[in-house]
A = this chain, B = another copy of it.
Amino acid sequence: MERKSQQRPLRADAERTVRAILEAAERVLSSNPAATMEQIAEAAGVARTTVHRRFTSREALVDALTAWATRQFHEAVTSAHPDSAPPLIALYQATANVLRVKIGWGFAMSRTTPEDPEVARAHADVLAQCDRLFQRALEAGVLRPDTDLAWARRVYYALIHEAAQNRSDEADDVDELATLVVDTLLRGLGRQGSSLSP
Contact = CB atoms under 8 A, between A and B. Distances in A.
A167 interface: no
A187 interface: yes
A195 interface: yes
Contacts of A180: 151
A27 to B, nearest CB: 19
Interface centre among A142, A158, A180, A184 (most CB of B within 10 A): A184
A142 B191 contact: yes
Interface in A138-163: 141-144, 147, 151-152, 154-155, 158-159, 161-162
B189 A143 contact: yes
- Mostly, the A contact residues are helix
Interface centre among A34, A88, A151, A186 (most CB of B within 10 A): A186
Interface size range of chain A in the complex: 35 or more
A189 B147 contact: yes
Contact of A143 (B142, B154, B158, B190): B190
Interface of A: 34, 88, 92, 141-144, 147, 151-152, 154-155, 158-159, 161-162, 165-166, 179-180, 182-192, 194-197
| Nearest 10 interchain pairs by C-beta | A186-B190, A188-B188, A158-B158, A186-B195, A187-B188, A142-B194, A187-B195, A186-B188, A154-B162, A147-B189
Given A88-B194, A143-B194, 16 more contacts: A34-B34, A141-B191, A143-B189, A144-B190, A155-B162, A155-B189, A158-B159, A158-B161, A182-B195, A183-B195, A184-B188, A185-B188, A186-B189, A186-B190, A187-B195, A188-B189
